[in-house]
């Protein structure tokens, strides 16, 4: 059993292969957090110490024990307004206006497996999954909180969420509902978070935690380019290969907040969940509210060890089973090749040339529908512009398939242009404040997917296209942040529910489409990587990593993404040079090596390639097919430390059985008379020997990891090296 209750001490223990999580029901049925960290034996109640701290009050029942304070003891799920002045996990306003939430333990139960989370993405059960449900209750308001813990022992992961239920007789307004709250009474931590902007997403930044509150999040209506819903609490001495690291990842795609507080005594609290700004959810008597899930994992093997645990879980339990083992098709996308300037004849010429190079799928990007010759009109009018194409979508897709290619299509379902037939017919379907001109971005607004009629319209409109053409793949875009978040279908006192209800509507639409088209691959996109999160990965096995296709910039973007998300989820393409975003010129070989550490494809006009470039493309595609399983399913290692000042970036993939490894290195800054680039490899079998393909040289695994390997001095801009090692039997 991975979950155990010790009746005498009232301690609950959750165990995975390498970690222990404990909580205790204390005096007055206060649920205290005891420990989260490396696996250990025994109960950790001995860590609790109490003392009379000035200005730290006591619950009424413990008024004679001035050392027992909610403000100093580690809480499992912190209430509000009742004496714990640290970060709250839940806030609520009762019908009489009172705002105190005092949650006390009532009961718990242990179950095999796990239930689905209604209306939300979730971590799918593994064979060894067990569930703990701990019920807390506020006796005055009747607010019940069911703390849910899904334990994945083989993955070293615990998944948390909370169900709030109004068991009272009057409405409650929930103002904050965190998915997870974890207290660390001891430790000296930094936090690694992932900031960014459009075209430069998920940049890792290590922050030394000060006393007080440090917070990261998004109020943009999406997980955002600016702040990913994933943070790492790391021991200040931790590196890529050693030290305690704790990951907190929300399975959610909307507004989010990750808060860390270092309190007066040096303890650290982490609270993660839906962003409370603008959030207010009314619970009538008997109603419930489910928070998104939060994935927790600990590794004593540094950042790389933590990353691999998240990679394995997302590949195996978040991404749909249909795509877990499937190799992604090599695709070519029309966007940077043609933008809005195309017809069927041009697309077919692209397809013919791409097929000759070994490409397996052509994707027609924006501009095929309604009045859509630029990005100022047409969104919402999902009818094929046959005049522009010169044929129907069914005819075009049939011709693409006749060439032996699969066919994909771009959509932006959650958006609406002011200049569209849909907006002229239903202006109230757009999120927009009454009597106020909206904030515009690309002259488009956001559809109100909190409304069932909008979700139903989109489902019908998308099905009308998908039913009349052979569509294998959909690129699902979301090209602006949400503002003026007002629904014309909700009353004034429930407008605080709009943002989350819109996210639920998006999830419903995705679920319905995948139920109707189970073989359809959907790639998530939001101006590139603006909605790259575990929530979207539940529906989309891959996400376009960034609109920035510059290979040198992609080194940083893909590295930052790798701290939490597997390579199999990263959309990565070879684009033309000079690059359309930066103007940089990078060798074709380097562009290929970088893009092969992703789902791999091309973002260029194949008819504009030289004969030499075409031969390089053929070789790249052959290499991708050869290494695809190793890259998609092998263990990933970053071989250079964050901010180590090296003038190259290196990473590798190792088969789970240690049978082969692929090492990649890109020089990012060439210096005269420089030292040879040198790295230590990781993840190999020490006692095994490995042959370097192409040279026939044989190395001991222990030597490659202890002494490392060097590379030739760089010549020219952005040189790249790729080494393939195969284990020698015997």
Just list the catalytic residues.
Answer: 533, 613
Compute the distance between CA of residue 600 and CA of residue 621 in angstroms, rounded to an integer: 9
Helices (H), 328-420: 335-338, 344-357, 386-389, 393-402
- The DSSP bridge pattern shows strands 689-692 and 698-700 to be antiparallel
Contact 521, 474 (CB under 8 A): yes
**Burial readout 696-709 (b: 16 or more C-beta within 10 A, e: otherwise):** eeebbbeebbeeeb
Q: SS3 of 641, please?
A: coil
Q: SS3 of 676, please?
A: coil
The residue among 301, 280, 282, 89 whose CA lies nearest residue 179 is 89
Contact 214, 207 (CB under 8 A): yes
In 120-229, DSSP assigns E strands to 130-137, 143-152, 157-166, 172-184, 189-197, 200-208, 212-218
Contact 114, 125 (CB under 8 A): yes
Cα maximum dimension of the chain: 86
Contacts of residue 690, Cβ cutoff 8 Å, sequence gap at least 6: 661, 684, 698, 699, 700, 701, 704, 725, 726, 727, 728
φ, ψ of residue 348 in degrees (nearest 5) = -70, -35
Q: Computed from CA positions of residues 426, 432, 438, 443, in that sequence, does the dihedral angle turn out positive or negative?
A: negative
Compute the distance between CA of residue 106 and CA of residue 115 in angstroms, rounded to an integer: 21
The residue among 389, 390, 393, 440 whose CA lies nearest residue 419 is 440
Compute the distance between CA of residue 524 and CA of residue 95 in angstroms, rounded to an integer: 41
Contacts of residue 184, Cβ cutoff 8 Å, sequence gap at least 6: 36, 74, 233, 267, 268, 269, 270
How far from 77 is each of 111, 125, 276, 574, 642, CA to CA, in Å? 21, 24, 16, 47, 33
Compute the distance between CA of residue 599 and CA of residue 327 in angstroms, rounded to an integer: 9
């Amino acid at each position: 059993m991975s979950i155990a209750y010790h009746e005498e001490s009232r301690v609950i223990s959750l165990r995975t292969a390498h970690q222990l999580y404990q909580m205790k029901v204390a005096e007055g049925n206060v649920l205290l957090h005891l420990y989260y960290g490396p696996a250990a034996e025994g109960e950790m109640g001995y860590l609790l110490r109490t003392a009379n701290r000035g200005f730290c009050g006591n619950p009424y029942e413990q008024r004679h024990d001035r050392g027992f304070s909610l403000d100093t003891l580690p809480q499992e799920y912190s209430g509000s307004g009742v004496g714990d002045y640290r970060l709250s996990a839940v806030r609520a306003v009762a019908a009489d206006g009172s705002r105190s939430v005092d949650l006390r333990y009532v009961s718990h139960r242990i179950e095999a497996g796990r239930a689905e989370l209604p209306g939300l993405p979730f971590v799918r059960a593994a064979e060894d999954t067990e569930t703990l449900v701990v019920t807390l209750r506020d006796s005055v308001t009747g607010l019940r909180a069911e703390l849910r813990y899904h334990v994945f022992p083989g993955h070293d992961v615990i998944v948390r969420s909370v169900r709030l239920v109004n068991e009272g007789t009057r409405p409650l307004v929930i103002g904050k509902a965190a998915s997870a709250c974890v207290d660390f009474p001891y430790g000296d931590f930094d936090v690694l978070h992932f900031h960014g902007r459009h075209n430069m997403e998920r940049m890792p930044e290590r922050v030394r935690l000060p006393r007080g509150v440090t917070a990261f999040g998004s109020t943009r209506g999406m997980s955002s380019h600016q702040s990913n819903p994933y943070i790492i609490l790391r021991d200040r001495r931790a590196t890529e290969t050693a030290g305690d690291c704790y990951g907190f990842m929300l399975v959610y795609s909307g507004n989010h907040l990750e808060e860390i507080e270092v309190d007066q005594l040096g303890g650290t609290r982490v609270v993660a969940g839906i962003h409370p700004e603008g959030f207010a959810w009314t619970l009538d008597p008997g109603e419930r509210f489910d928070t998104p899930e939060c994935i927790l994992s600990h590794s004593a093997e540094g950042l790389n060890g933590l990353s691999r645990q998240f990679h394995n879980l997302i590949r195996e339990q978040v991404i749909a089973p249909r795509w877990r083992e499937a190799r992604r098709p090599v695709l070519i996308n029309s966007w940077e090749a043609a933008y809005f300037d195309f017809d069927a004849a041009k697309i077919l010429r692209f397809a013919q040339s791409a097929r000759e190079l070994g490409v397996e799928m052509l994707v027609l990007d924006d501009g095929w529908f309604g009045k859509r010759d630029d990005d100022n009109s047409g969104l919402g009018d999902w009818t094929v512009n046959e005049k522009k194409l010169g044929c129907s979508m069914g005819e075009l897709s049939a011709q693409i398939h006749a060439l032996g290619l699969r066919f994909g299509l771009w959509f932006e379902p959650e958006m609406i242009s002011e200049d569209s037939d849909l907006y002229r017919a239903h202006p109230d379907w757009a999120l927009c404040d009454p009597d106020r001109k909206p904030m515009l971005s690309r002259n488009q607004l956001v559809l109100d997917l909190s409304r069932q009629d909008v979700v139903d319209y989109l489902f019908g409109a998308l099905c009308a296209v998908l039913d009349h053409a052979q569509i294998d793949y959909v690129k699902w875009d979301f090209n602006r942040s949400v503002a003026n978040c007002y629904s014309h279908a909700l009353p004034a006192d429930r407008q605080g529910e709009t943002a989350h209800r819109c996210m639920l509507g998006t999830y419903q639409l995705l679920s319905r489409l995948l139920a109707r088209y189970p073989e359809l691959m959907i790639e998530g996109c939001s101006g590139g990587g603006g909605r790259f999160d575990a929530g979207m990965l539940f529906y989309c096995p891959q996400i376009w990593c960034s609109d920035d296709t510059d290979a040198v910039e992609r080194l940083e973007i893909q590295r930052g993404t790798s701290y939490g998300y597997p390579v199999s989820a990263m959309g990565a393409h070879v684009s033309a040079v000079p690059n359309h975003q930066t103007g940089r010129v990078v060798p074709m070989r380097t562009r290929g090596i970088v893009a092969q550490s992703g789902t791999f494809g091309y973002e260029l006009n194949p008819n504009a390639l030289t004969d030499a470039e075409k031969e390089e493309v053929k070789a790249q595609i052959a290499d991708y097919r050869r290494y695809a399983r190793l890259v998609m399913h092998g263990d990933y290692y970053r071989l250079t430390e964050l901010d180590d000042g090296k003038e190259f970036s290196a990473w590798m993939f190792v088969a789970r059985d240690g049978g082969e490894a692929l090492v990649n290195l890109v020089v990012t800054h060439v210096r005269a008379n420089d030292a040879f680039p040198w790295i230590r490899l990781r993840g190999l079998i020490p006692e095994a020997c490995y042959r370097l393909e192409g040279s026939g040289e044989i190395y001991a695994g222990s030597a490659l990891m202890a002494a490392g390997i060097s590379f030739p001095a760089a010549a020219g801009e952005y040189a790249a090296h790729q080494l393939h090692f195969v284990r020698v039997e015997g």
